[in-house]
Structure 1
Amino acid sequence: MEELASALPINGAPYTYFNNVANKKAALICASILVLDFLSTAVVSAATATSYLSGEVALPFPAWVGAAFILVVFTFLSLTGVRESARLALAMLSFHILTMVVLMIAAAVHWAHTGNEMLRDNWNAGKASSSSGVAHQIFNGVCLGVLGLTGFETTPSYVAKMKSNVFPLVLRNLHYPAILFNVILMTSVLAIIRLPDITSGANILSLLADKVGGPWLRIWIVVDAMVVLCGGVLAGFVSSCQLFEQLALDRILPQFYLRTMHITSSPYISIFTCASLCALLYISAAADLSLLSKMFSFTFLCTMATFPFCLLLLKFHRGRLPRTPHTPLLLVIVTMSVSAVLIAGNIAIDPTTAGYFAPYFIGVFLIFLITQNKARILRFVLWFYDHHSRLHALKLTKGWGARIINIIATMKRQPVCILVKGDEIHILSRMLIYAYRNEVTSCVKMIHFTDNEKGMPSELEANARILDEAFPQITIDLVIVYAPFSPVSVATLAHRLNIPPSLMFMGCPGKDSPYELFEFGTRIITS
C-alpha cells in the first residue's frame, strides 16, 4: 500500500490505481467491490449500532426501524454538507482510545483479583482434542482475525490530502493500536468471561465492562460503540459519494452525479443514490445483520486483495514511475497468496459468505458494464429497431431511430485528450487504441506542448494524419500548445476544452520528471 500510494498519490484508490495500470474493465471490477464495501459499511454500522443498543435497553420498536432511522438521519446530515472532518475524527478517536484504555485498566485490576482460573477453564473448554484440530482452530482464528482490520482499505483514498511521507506513519499508527487493543482485550475477555457467554453473541465488550467496572462503565462502552458506529455510517456515505463523483468524471455514471446543492454544495444525487442503495441492500437481506456482516467481511477481503494484485501490474506496466519504497517482487507474490488463502479460508468457514456476495457484486458490475458500453447497447437497439418495421408504425416507438442516432452522436462527440511528447507512431497508435477501446468517443484531441525555441517533433503532424486515415471511426485533432508542459498548463487546457483531467491521457513519467503525477490529475496509459 505504501508503494502504490507513493507512485499514485491520487484519490479514489484502488479504483484509480487500476485505471492507471490496467484497462477500464479491471477498474470497473474494483469499483464494484468498492461500492459494496462502502454501502455495506454504512448499513452494517447502522444495523450494528441499533443491535448494540437493543442489547442494552428494551427498544419500543424493531431493530430494523432503528437502523433505518440512523440511515435517514445521516442522509439529511450529508445533504446539509457535513463531511469527514479531521478535528471530528481526532475527537472520536481520542474518546475511543480513552474508553479502551479505561476498560483495559479495569479489566487488568479485576483479573489481578480473580486470578487465572477462568482463563484456564476457557482454555480447556475450547481446546481441540487433537493436534490437527488445534492447527485448524489456529487457521480459522487467523482467517477471522483479519476481519478485525476493516477500515484499512480506505486509507489510500486520503493520500492526496496528506503531506509527503506521512502515509507510512498513518499505516504504522493504525497497526500498533489494532495489535495492542485486540490482543489485550481478547485476552481479558477470555480471562474474565465464561466461554459460553463469549460465544452467545452478546455485546461482549459491554458485558466485560459490566463485569469489571459496573453499570457506569457499561453505559460508557455503549455510548462509545454508538459514536464509533455512527462514524462508520458517515464514512460509508462520504466514500460512496467520492467514488460516484470519480465515476461520473470518467463518464461511467451520468453527468448529473456531479450536480451539487446551491447552499450546501453537497452532491445530492450521489447522496440519494447511496441512501437508496443502502435501503435496497438492507431490504434484500431481510434486515438480517449476520447476512450483511458476511457480505461486508467478504468485500473487505476482496478489496484488500486488490492492492498486491495492482502493485504487480504497476511493476510490470508502469515500472518507470518514481516511488519509494520498492516492495520486493517475492513479497508481492506472497501477499497475493496470503490474500487468496484468507479468502478461501473464510469461504471454508462459512460458504454462504461468497454466496451472499456474488449476486450483489454481479448486479453492481453489470450496471457499470452497461453504462460503460451504452453506445454499443444503443447500436444494438437501433439495429433491432431497423429490422422490425412494425415498430416504426407504433405511436410509442415512432421516431426512435432518429432519437437513438442523436444520443449516440452526442456521446461520440465528447472528446478525450492524449498528451504526446514525441512523434513515434507506434506510441501514438497505442495511446489511440487505448482511448478507442476504453472510452465512448470518436473525437480524440492529440495535444503537444512546446515552445517557440524547441518547436514540435518533425514527424508529429504527418503521423497524426496517417493515424487519422488508419482509424476512420475516430476524428483526430492535432493541437499544438505553445506553453511549457506543466500542471498549470494542463489544468488551463482542461478548463479551456471542458475536459476533466481524468480523461486526459499521458505516458508514464520517469525519474527525471520535475512534477509529481498527482499534480496533473491525468491518467497514465502507456509504460
Structure 2
Amino acid sequence: AMLGISGFESSANFIEEQKPGVFPLTLRNMWIAVAIFNPLMAFLALGSLPLGEFHDGGPTDLLAQMGDISVGGFFKTWISIDAVLVLSGAVLTSYVGVTGLVRRMALDRCLPRVLLAKNKIRDTNHWIILGFFALCCSILVSTSGDVEVLAGVYTISFLCVMSLFAIGNMLLKKKRSRLPTTVRASWLGVTVALAAVLAGLIGNIVKDPKYVEVFGIYFVAAILVIAVMFLRIDLMKLLLFVSTSVLEKVRAVNSWVNSRVRRKIDEINSLTVVYFTKGDSLPMLNRAALYVLQNEHTTRLKVVHVYEDEAGIPAELAEHLSTIDHLYPQLRIDFVAVRGTFGPDIIESLSQRLDVPKNYMFIATPGDRFPHSIDDLGGVRLIL
C-alpha cells in the first residue's frame, strides 16, 4: 500500500536548484493526487474483486486484474503497458535523484570523492550511475526477483526516510528555532505524522520480518561505508601503527606506506573551512572552533568578518581569535576582514578567491532581520 504514495522521499532532491515557491507546490500537488486516486482505487478494488483475493495481500497486478474484470482483456493489456511506461519513468527519475543525493554526500565528505568524477563526453557522474545500477542488480539477485520482497524492502526504506524527515523537522524546531522560513509545520502535525509513519513501518515489519533482513544487509553496508569516511583519519593512523610495528623489517615498503599515508593525511587536513562571524563573542567563536575540530577533517580555519565601515569591526575580535588559536594548537586559525556587504555575492567571490567550496563555509543561525534566505547563500552550512 505504501508504494502508492511514493515520490515524497525524493521530492527534496535538487531543492537548492528549484525556484522559490516550487517545492511547496510540488508537495501540494502530490498530496492532491494521493488523496484522490488512492482511496478511489481502493473502493474500486473492493467493488470489483472478491474479498478472498486480498487474503494474502492481493494480486501483484491488482489494477490489471481490475481492468480485466471491469472492461475486458484489452484494458488489462493497456494498463500493463501503461504501468511499464510509468515505472520506466520512475527508474529514470531515480537515477536523477540518486545522482544529486550521492553527489551532495560526496561533497560533504560522507562518501568517497571519487564518485564526483565526471564523464568528459556527457559531463555526468558516471561512477554514481554505474554504482547505483550495480546496487539495484545486487538487490534483484539477492531477492531472486521476488516482487513482493522487493516491494517490502522498498516500503521499509520509504518509511524510514519519511520518519527521518519528521525527526529532522523536530531537530530544526529545537536547535534552529530562529531560522527564517516561509512554511512552518506545527509540533502537533509533525508528531502525528511521525506516529503514523512509525505505525506503518512497524506493521510492515511484523507482517513479514524477512523484508527487514534484506533491508538490514544493505543498510549496514551503507553505514559501514559512511563510517569509514568519517573515521578514515583514525584508520590511516592505525595503518601507520601497523606498518611501523609489523613491517619494520621491510624498511623499503614501510617507508613507502608511511610517506603515502602521511601525504594523504596532510592533504585531507590541509583543506580549509571558513566561518563567517558577525561579532566578537568568545563563546560563539569557541563553539565554532570546537565544531571544526569535532566534525571536520581539517586543521585550518579561516574566520571571516565582513564590514562596511572599519569602525564597525569588533574591537576584540582579533584578540579573541588569538586566544582560541592558543587554546587549540592543533587548529590553525586565520582572521580575514573583508570590506563589503554580507550576502550571496560576497560569498561567491570569497569562495573563488580562497578556493573553498561554499558547502565548507559556515555561519551561525541568522535572525529574523536577515535580508537573504538560506537558499540564496548557495549551500553555506549552519553550524551554531
Q: Same fold (TM over 0.5)?
A: yes
1:442 is aligned with what amino acid?
T
Deviation sequence 1:91-127 (CA, Å, 0-9, x none): xxxxxxxxxxxxxxxxxxxxxxxxxxxxxxxxxxxxx
Q: Are the counterparts in 2 of residues 373 and 440 from structure 1 also a CA contact under 8 Å?
A: no
Deviation at 1:394, TM superposition (A): 6.7
Q: Are the counterparts in 1 of residues 106 and 115 from structure 2 also a CA contact under 8 Å?
A: yes
1:346 is aligned with what amino acid?
N
From 135, 138, 163, the equivalent of 1:277 is 135
Q: Are the counterparts in 2 of residues 450 and 481 from structure 1 also a CA contact under 8 Å?
A: yes
TM-score computed with the length of structure 1 as normaliser: 0.68
- In structure 1, what is the equivalent of residue 162 of structure 2? 304
Q: State the alpha-carbon separation in 1 of the partners of residues 125 and 23 from structure 2.
A: 28
From 298, 308, 313, the equivalent of 2:171 is 313
Change (3 A) 1:488 1:249: same
Q: State the alpha-carbon separation in 2 of the partners of residues 202 and 412 from structure 1.
A: 53
Deviation at 1:373, TM superposition (A): 1.7
Q: How does 1:113-152 map to 2 (within 5 A)?
A: 145-152=1-8
Unaligned stretches of 5+ residues in structure 2: none
Q: State the alpha-carbon separation in 1 of the partners of residues 184 and 35 from structure 2.
A: 25
Aligned: 1:245 with 2:78: no
- In structure 2, what is the equivalent of residue 268 of structure 1? 126
Deviation sequence 1:48-69 (CA, Å, 0-9, x none): xxxxxxxxxxxxxxxxxxxxxx
- In structure 2, what is the equivalent of residue 295 of structure 1? 153
1:386 is aligned with what amino acid?
T
1:495 is aligned with what amino acid?
Q
Q: Are the counterparts in 1 of residues 278 and 305 from structure 2 also a CA contact under 8 Å?
A: yes
Q: In structure 2, the residue corresponding to 1:324 is in which secondary structure?
A: coil
Q: Percent identity?
A: 29
- In structure 2, what is the equivalent of residue 224 of structure 1? 82
Q: In structure 2, the residue corresponding to 1:263 is in which secondary structure?
A: coil
Q: In structure 1, the residue corresponding to 2:302 is in which secondary structure?
A: strand
Deviation at 1:202, TM superposition (A): 4.6
Deviation at 1:392, TM superposition (A): 4.2
Change (3 A) 1:343 1:486: same
Q: State the alpha-carbon separation in 1 of the partners of residues 172 and 21 from structure 2.
A: 20
Q: State the alpha-carbon separation in 2 of the partners of residues 516 and 230 from structure 1.
A: 36
Q: In structure 1, the residue corresponding to 2:215 is in which secondary structure?
A: helix
2:24 is aligned with what amino acid?
P
- In structure 2, what is the equivalent of residue 359 of structure 1? 217
Deviation at 1:509, TM superposition (A): 1.0
Aligned: 1:518 with 2:357: no
Q: Are the counterparts in 2 of residues 209 and 217 from structure 1 also a CA contact under 8 Å?
A: yes
Deviation at 1:287, TM superposition (A): 3.0
Deviation at 1:517, TM superposition (A): 0.6
Q: State the alpha-carbon separation in 2 of the partners of residues 277 and 259 from structure 1.
A: 19
From 483, 490, 511, the equivalent of 2:347 is 490
Q: How does 1:27-426 map to 2 (within 5 A)?
A: 145-197=1-53, 201-388=59-246, 390-393=247-250, 397-426=254-283
**Aligned residue pairs: how many?**
381
- In structure 1, what is the equivalent of residue 363 of structure 2? 506
Unaligned stretches of 5+ residues in structure 1: 1-144
Deviation sequence 1:187-216 (CA, Å, 0-9, x none): 222222234445563522112222222233
Deviation sequence 1:366-415 (CA, Å, 0-9, x none): 10110122111101111222233x44417655521222111111111011
Deviation at 1:272, TM superposition (A): 1.6
Q: In structure 1, the residue corresponding to 2:63 is in which secondary structure?
A: helix
Q: Which moved more, 1:222-231 or 1:350-359?
A: 350-359
Q: Are the counterparts in 1 of residues 13 and 101 from structure 2 also a CA contact under 8 Å?
A: no
Deviation sequence 1:238-281 (CA, Å, 0-9, x none): 11111121122112333332222223211112112222222232
Deviation at 1:147, TM superposition (A): 4.4
Q: Are the counterparts in 2 of residues 392 and 399 from structure 1 also a CA contact under 8 Å?
A: no
